Amino acid sequence: MQRWAGKLAVVTGASSGIGAAIVRDLVKNGVNVVGIARRDNNVKVLSEEMKGAKGKIYPLKADLEKEEDIVESFKWIESNLKTPVHILVNNAGLSILGDTVDGKMKDWQKMFNVNVLAVGTCIREHLNSMKQHNVNDGHIIDICSIVGHRVIDFPGFYVYTATKHAVKVITEGVRQELLRDGSHTKITTVSPGYVSTELFAQAGAYSQQSASALDVLPHLQAPDVSNAVIYALSLPQHVRVHDLTIQATSEKF
CA pair distance 201, 161, nearest whole angstrom: 17
Give the burial class of 106: count Cβ atoms within 10 A of its Cβ; 0-12 exposed, 13-18 middle, 19 or more buried: exposed
CA pair distance 45, 114, nearest whole angstrom: 24
Measured torsion, CA atoms of residues 36, 39, 45, 46, in degrees rounded to the nearest 10: -40
Please confirm, yes or no, whether 160 is among the known catalytic residues: yes
Give the burial class of 127: count Cβ atoms within 10 A of its Cβ; 0-12 exposed, 13-18 middle, 19 or more buried: buried
155 DSSP assignment: T
Neighbours of 86 (CB within 10 A): 24
Contact assessment for residue 55 and residue 77, using Cβ atoms and an 8 Å cutoff: no
Using alpha carbons, select from 78, 44, 68 the residue that is nearest to residue 35: 44
CA pair distance 222, 13, nearest whole angstrom: 13
**3-state SS track over 207-235:** CHHHHHHHHHCCCECHHHHHHHHHHHHHC
134 DSSP assignment: T
* Catalytic residue selected from 58, 160, 194, 206: 160
Query: Among positive and negative, which fits the CA dihedral 16, 17, 18, 21?
Result: positive
Catalytic residues: 160
